[in-house]
Every structure is written in C-alpha cells, then in structure tokens.
Structure 1
Amino acid sequence: MAPEPRCRICGDAVVEFLDFGTQPLSDAFRDPGDTAEEFTYRLAVGRCGTCGMVQLTEEVPREEMFHEEYPYLSRGSSVMREHFRSLAERFLTTELSGDDAFIVELGCNDGTMLKTVAEAGVRHLGVEPSGAVADLAAEEGVRVRKDFFEEATALDIVAAEGQADVIYAANTLCHIPYMSSILRGVTALLRPEGVFVFEDPYLGDIVERTSFDQIYDEHFFLFSASSVDEMARRHDLELVDVERLPVHGGEVRYTLARPGARKRGAAVEELLAEERGRGLGDLAVLERFAERVREVRDDLVALLTRLRAEGHRIVGYGATAKSATVTNFCGIGPDLVEFVCDTTPAKQHKLTPGSHIPVRPPEVFSDDYPPYALLFAWNHADEIMAKEQAFREAGGRWIRYVPDVHVV
C-alpha cells in the first residue's frame, strides 16, 4: 500500500481529488525508432487540509524533467517576448534603479527576460539547470549559472556576488517540490528591502476554465493567493502584492518580501476575499472541478471519434508539454489525430510522449490544410489564429476544449 501523500509545504496529509492515471514525462519526445521503455508515473493532484496548498501527490525526479535536451524556449512566442521585455523595463525603473543593483532569475531559460537587463548594463545572474537553453541565454549576453536553485546555491551566490535586490521566477517556482530549500535560499539571497517576484499558473483560473492540462509533471504546485500567503508566512516572508496576468491561460504574479519591509497592497486582500467567496480552497469545489474534467474528456473523445468516423482529418496544433496530459488522459493517439505541428525544431520529426503522435514542422500544416485542427496551444489562441487566417479561409475549423469542448 502506497504511503499517504504529505504536503511539501507543511507536512500534513494531502487529500487526492483528481487522478489522471499513468502519464509519461510531458517533454519526453521520442525518436520514431526508439523502442526503449518510457518513464511513467501516476499523475494525481490533491489538497493539503492544513495549509490549503494544491499539489501533485507523486514527485518526478527533477533530473528526469530538466536536462540538456529540455525543449521549451521562452522566446518561442511573440506575446511572451513582449511580456518579459515589459517586466524587465519595469524592474529597471523601480527595483533596479539604484547603484550596483543586482537581479537573480531562477529558471532563466533562454534569457529572454534577462537580455533586456543585460543590455541596460545592470548586474544580473540567471540560474538554469537545463544546459542547452542556458547556452542560448549565454549567447544573448546573459550571465548564467548552470544549476538547480536551492539553499546551497543561494549561499554560493551570496558569497560570490552579494545579496540581490530582486529574485525573479517565471513558470518555475511551481515546478519545484523542495520548496523549503528554495525559500531558505531566497531569504539568504534577498537584500533586506528586496523583493521575490514569481509568476505561475493560477489555481483560480484553472478551476474556473477547467483548464486541466495545466496539471502535468512539471507543475507540482497549483498556487492560489491564500496558499502562497500561508507558504510565505511559514518561511519568514510576507505576500505584499499580487497581479493577475493573462498569459499562459491565466497566471498570478506574486511579490514576497521580508515581514515589515513592504506595505501589503490592497490587491492582496481583494484576491484573498475573492478566493474565500468562491470557496477556492474547499475540497468540495475541487471535487466538482474534477467532475467537469472527466466530462470534458468524454466530450472530446466523442467528438474526435465521430469526426474520424465521418472521414475527416484532424491535426493537432502545438506540441505543448500540457498536451501530454490531454492525449494520455483521453487516450488520443494517431488514430484520432494525424500529427501535431509545432515550431520548436527539437520536437519536430519526433513522437509525442506516451501517445506517439508524429510531430511535424508548421509548413506541413499549410501544405495541405485539414478540415479540423485540435488546438493544444490554446493559451496562445489569439496569436495563433491571427497567424493562421489562411486555414480559416480554406474552411478549416478549430477544436477547443477549454473551458469546454467546442468547434470554432
């Protein structure tokens, strides 16, 4: 019998409310001739009854996910490039405007945000464990340390560089189960008046939109303002600001500081009150979310099966990490989706994890438009649909499954 899952924030029991079954690593794209057994794990999510943190019940070793061939690039979307440029410029005019200012980014990826900081001549350091993307950051003039961030890493940085005015992380903190070590590192690295700013997918948006594919191996935590508030308090930090973000299907940017160092903004209390009003931390609300997820699964499989039975071709659009949850939870394979087109060279001419759907370059999509395209990259829908006007003009229709299954 498996041991009862324990909360990675407070150590109390975690109550499971949704099980996606056996899943592969979300970014483990395979060569067509590869016959090796795939790494799998059980993807299930639960809620801590004490601190309210929503989290996976099984941890995937970090080395399995973040390695030399990690394929995700921050620069892949024009929307995200502008998002990071704008934030960097905000930091430069606020937190980094003093003498010898210093910013550290955890999980800097290809350096998209820090490039703007570097070009301004401000002292910076990116910490990135995935070697290939770290090399891309270095090519852009960004100083990078190839490493996982934890308490020992932070102490090394302090010894060599001093403390930081800003510690920043985008779509990174939710990846890290060993949060106590991270936050001890943050408190060691942060200057007394400094801020720790991170942005990640927001539990409130996931529940409201039934965007269940935001749950996969890399997203260990699903943060809410209330759970982050409690997490910060337990690690001698204070949640002082929140900002709702439209990117990646709905995120929140959290700002933490040392207790008393910053005045707590009204936005924090407003979001906490909204969450209480919605019952976002209630297990019953999360269980109803799980019921809707299973309904979406059944509706999507029924639609794809009917369209294929009628002789229609269906192609996937965007070989995203989160699409692994969809294809494997729903049992979608090459029999239903002919291929998935994606702009990332490292994914092209490979097979999707678990479901083994071929991944093709985007020009294959336009060479012979299918009548239907299943939009896995739904969080970039506006950008994609604007780019793919010719698909619509040719009579093509998009299949979407967030917040429910529909054809547009």
Structure 2
Amino acid sequence: MCRICGGAVSEFFDFGRQPLSDTFLRADEVSGEYFFRLAVGVCEDCSMVQLLDEVPRDRMFHADYPYHSSGSARMRNHFEQTARDFLDTELTGTDPFVVEIGCNDGVMLRTFREAGIRHLGFEPSRGVADLARADGIRVLTDYFEESSAVRIRESDGPADVIFAANTICHIPYLGSIFRGMEALLAPDGVFVFEDPYLGDIIRLNTFDQIYDEHFFLFSVNSVRTAARRFGFELVDVRRLPVHGGEVRYTIARTGARPVSPAVDALAAEERDRGLIDPATFERFGADVKRICGELVELLRRLRAEGKRVAGYGATAKSATVTNYCGIGPELVDVVYDTTPAKHGRLMPGSHIPVRPASELAETRPDFAVLFAWNHAEEIQVKEKAFHESGGRWITYVPDVRIT
C-alpha cells in the first residue's frame, strides 16, 4: 500500500537480501548483522516510487552514523552557495529564522551562523550532531515531525525557510513531515528540499541510489501530488548536477506564491519520457541485471588474469552494488575511503575491508571500482597519481567501463 495515498504499489525490482547501507562492522559484529528485503515499486495512483519494506529509523540513523556532509569540497561549496542564495532572497526580513531537517555536521547551517541568522538543525544521529555543535551551530538531536515542529514553533516562532538536503527521501512518514510544516512554517515561508531525481536514476541507470535510506525516489509529478494531498503546493523546481542528478523542490502554502512555469515544464517532460509508464520501470530492471552481470564478469576476468582490484568510496550506494551483484573480497580486495570512522571496518554485507584513501598510492592496485561515482571528477583529480602510475578506474553507471 502506498505510503502517500494508500493506493496499490506495483513492485518492479527486487534487490534481495540487503544490509544497512551505512553500518560498517567490526569483525566481531558480523554474526549479528541486520538484513532486510530491498524491493522497490511504483504507486499505481499517485506515481510515487517507494520501497516496499521499511527499515526502523533508529537502526539507520544512530549515534555512530558515519556519513559527513562536509566530506566533499564540491558539496561544501554547493551548500555554502545555497545558503547565500537564501540570505539574498528568503531571509531578508527582520530576525529571520531558518530550520534544516537532517543538518548532519552543520555544513549548510555554518553560513547562517556566520551571518548571525537564527537557525536550528534537526539531526537524530548524535555523532554528527555533536560535530555541528562543536562548530557553534544550534542543533536539536531529534527527528523532525509534527510533535517536534510544534515545540519549536512555541519556543522560536515561525520559520521563514525549512530546508533539507538528501533527507526527505529517507522519511516514510511524510504525512507527519507536512503536518510539521503546517505548524512551523511562516504563512509566506517556503519548504525547500533536494533529493536524488527519479528521472536521472532511470536515465543514467544509477540503480545504486536505491538502498535502505532512500525510501522514496521523487519525481515532479509525485511530489506535486503529495504536496496537494497535504494542503501545500509545489511552486518551483530546479535541476541540480550534484549526486548524479537531483531536483530542488520548493513548496509553499496553497495560494501563497505563484507557481513557476518550470514545474509544468518538468512534469510534462516526465510524461513524455514515460516516467509514469510501467514499461519504463521494466526496462530499468533489465538494465540493472545487465550491468551487474557485466561488472561481475569483468571483475572475475581481471582476477583470473592476476590483476589486483580495489574499490574507492565506501558509500551507502555501494552496499546495493556489492550485495546484489555478489561482490566480496574474492573480487575486490579492499575499499579505500576518506572517512576515518569507516577505517578498519568491513563493508556492509559484503565484508570487504575498508582502508584509508591515503593507502591507494602506496598499495597501487591495478584497477579501482569507483563506488563514489558521484564525486568522480573530484576524486580523479585528488588521486591523479593512481592513474599516472598505470591504475585504471572501473565505473558501472550508466554502463560498465574502464577509464
């Protein structure tokens, strides 16, 4: 049953038994590892693409949650510019107030703090929340939902901007989110969020964007339908080049703002491209199977030739790839990553060891699977010595290639 409208959800792909994508284990924790069924479907009524099974949120967003939003220079610049855009447009009144849902380590809110703007971040994962606090950012270690939004309205007043990046797609209980908006958002305020775009996932075969934390895969048509259902209106959309293709959605109270022509334009493009057509999702599933088959065949051939193959980027996305394709230490020796909290641990499900990215230049594998493909340009510049010494990158979106 659809988590938005209650309609029938038609399953179009099953990735099988999957682990928690952002839980990196010690060797003595493997026996108790949590698994769930990762299957995805589309609502026949409102077109919302969603997972069929929900992982309890406390299992995913725990105190040791390892992802740091500020880990990429490109994303730091992206969030700083986004904040400055809000300062120039939405936060120009007297004593403005901005709230971020899922503020992580505070990379977005830092610009507001420096500008002296009242701000608050909701972040349920205590470890990254503490990093934000240490930087002088005001953070509430809690989930954003109706009850917490009501409390903040009573203590801080209405919010001019409520923002979220790569967070709203994580939240199955969207009804409570919108009721929280009803309580906290100023009459002429905006709710702005950006998440991976279903259109780009289908177009580029970025199937690894489907994992436990990404409960919804949004499109303009499905977001507009959901907003209307909860008494709001989608008033603007903007394509973003980050994380393999995202859309920034701007939502306001019904009638509070004019609707940009960009909304109808992108919605029409989705219809023209068959983004609500079941056959589109069937073709996507066939592409997933083909890509995984080609990737495993390549890795097996390289290992048979005596080549050393590593991975780069212990991402949440890589859990889907390694576990669905059956890629373990016998095909990929090690995964290099820049996040210290992951070093010395094992990849979810596949149990490939994770080592510091600094060791790539020392160990010099023949090939490296670029699991963090969404940061490919930044990584390849940083790791130029790997390629100059003869190392080759393996990518698998939109197709399997060696570069």
The question of a shared fold, defined as TM-score above 0.5 by the shorter chain, is answered with yes
Gaps in structure 2 of 5+ consecutive residues: none
1:264 corresponds in structure 2 to 259
Which residue among 368, 384, 389 is the counterpart of 2:384?
A: 389
Which residue among 25, 30, 34 is the counterpart of 2:25?
A: 30
Which residue among 198, 204, 220 is the counterpart of 2:215?
A: 220
Which residue among 128, 133, 148 is the counterpart of 2:128?
A: 133
Which residue among 82, 98, 102 is the counterpart of 2:97?
A: 102
Which residue among 16, 19, 44 is the counterpart of 1:21?
A: 16
Separation of aligned partners in 1, 2:289 and 2:313: 22
Task: Report deviation, 1:34.
Answer: 2.7
1:120 corresponds in structure 2 to 115
Counterpart residue identity of residue 206, structure 2: S
Query: Deviation digits for residues 91-129 of structure 1, max 9, x if unmatched?
Result: 111101110100000000000000000110001100010
Answer yes or no: is 1:206 the counterpart of 2:201. yes
Separation of aligned partners in 2, 1:299 and 1:97: 53
**Greater alpha carbon shift after TM alignment, 259-268 vs 54-63:** 259-268
Task: Report deviation, 1:36.
Answer: 3.0
5 Å-filtered alignment, 1:173-192, equals: 173-192=168-187
Gaps in structure 1 of 5+ consecutive residues: 1-5
SS at match of 1:346: helix
Answer yes or no: is 1:12 the counterpart of 2:31. no
Which residue among 174, 189, 205 is the counterpart of 1:194?
A: 189
**Greater alpha carbon shift after TM alignment, 321-330 vs 181-190:** 181-190
Separation of aligned partners in 2, 1:403 and 1:300: 12
1:319 corresponds in structure 2 to 314
Separation of aligned partners in 1, 2:158 and 2:335: 45
Which residue among 165, 170, 193 is the counterpart of 1:170?
A: 165
Task: Report deviation, 1:35.
Answer: 4.2
2:400 corresponds in structure 1 to 405
Separation of aligned partners in 2, 1:42 and 1:281: 24
1:86 corresponds in structure 2 to 81
Task: Report deviation, 1:282.
Answer: 1.2
Which residue among 228, 231, 236 is the counterpart of 2:226?
A: 231
What is the aligned-residue RMSD (CA, Å)? Answer: 0.6
Query: Deviation digits for residues 299-330 of structure 1, max 9, x if unmatched?
Result: 00000001000100000000001100000000
Separation of aligned partners in 2, 1:211 and 1:105: 27
Which residue among 329, 335, 339 is the counterpart of 1:340?
A: 335
Separation of aligned partners in 2, 1:19 and 1:329: 9
SS at match of 2:340: coil
Counterpart residue identity of residue 178, structure 1: Y
Query: Deviation digits for residues 373-408 of structure 1, max 9, x if unmatched?
Result: 000000000000111111111111100000010101
Separation of aligned partners in 2, 1:34 and 1:66: 18
SS at match of 2:172: coil
1:372 corresponds in structure 2 to 367
2:291 corresponds in structure 1 to 296
Counterpart residue identity of residue 311, structure 1: G
Answer yes or no: is 1:143 the counterpart of 2:138. yes
Separation of aligned partners in 2, 1:170 and 1:32: 33
SS at match of 1:165: strand
Separation of aligned partners in 2, 1:36 and 1:95: 50
Counterpart residue identity of residue 263, structure 1: P
Separation of aligned partners in 2, 1:24 and 1:53: 24
Task: Report deviation, 1:364.
Answer: 1.5
1:155 corresponds in structure 2 to 150
Counterpart residue identity of residue 361, structure 1: P
Query: Deviation digits for residues 155-184 of structure 1, max 9, x if unmatched?
Result: 011011111000000000000001101111
Task: Report deviation, 1:32.
Answer: 2.0
Separation of aligned partners in 1, 2:337 and 2:206: 21
1:305 corresponds in structure 2 to 300
Task: Report deviation, 1:280.
Answer: 0.5
Separation of aligned partners in 2, 1:57 and 1:26: 17
Counterpart residue identity of residue 361, structure 2: S
Counterpart residue identity of residue 139, structure 1: A
Separation of aligned partners in 2, 1:86 and 1:35: 41
Separation of aligned partners in 1, 2:31 and 2:151: 39
Separation of aligned partners in 1, 2:307 and 2:129: 42
Counterpart residue identity of residue 228, structure 1: V
Query: Deviation digits for residues 118-155 of structure 1, max 9, x if unmatched?
Result: 11000110001000100111111110000011100110
Separation of aligned partners in 2, 1:57 and 1:315: 32
Counterpart residue identity of residue 258, structure 1: R
Separation of aligned partners in 1, 2:82 and 2:334: 36
Answer yes or no: is 1:61 the counterpart of 2:56. yes
Counterpart residue identity of residue 57, structure 1: L
| TM-score between the two structures when normalised by the length of structure 2 | 0.99
State, as a whole percentage, how many aligned pairs show the same letter: 63
2:72 corresponds in structure 1 to 77
Separation of aligned partners in 2, 1:117 and 1:253: 19
1:40 corresponds in structure 2 to 35
Query: Deviation digits for residues 204-232 of structure 1, max 9, x if unmatched?
Result: 00000000000000000000000000000
Counterpart residue identity of residue 370, structure 2: L
Counterpart residue identity of residue 288, structure 1: R
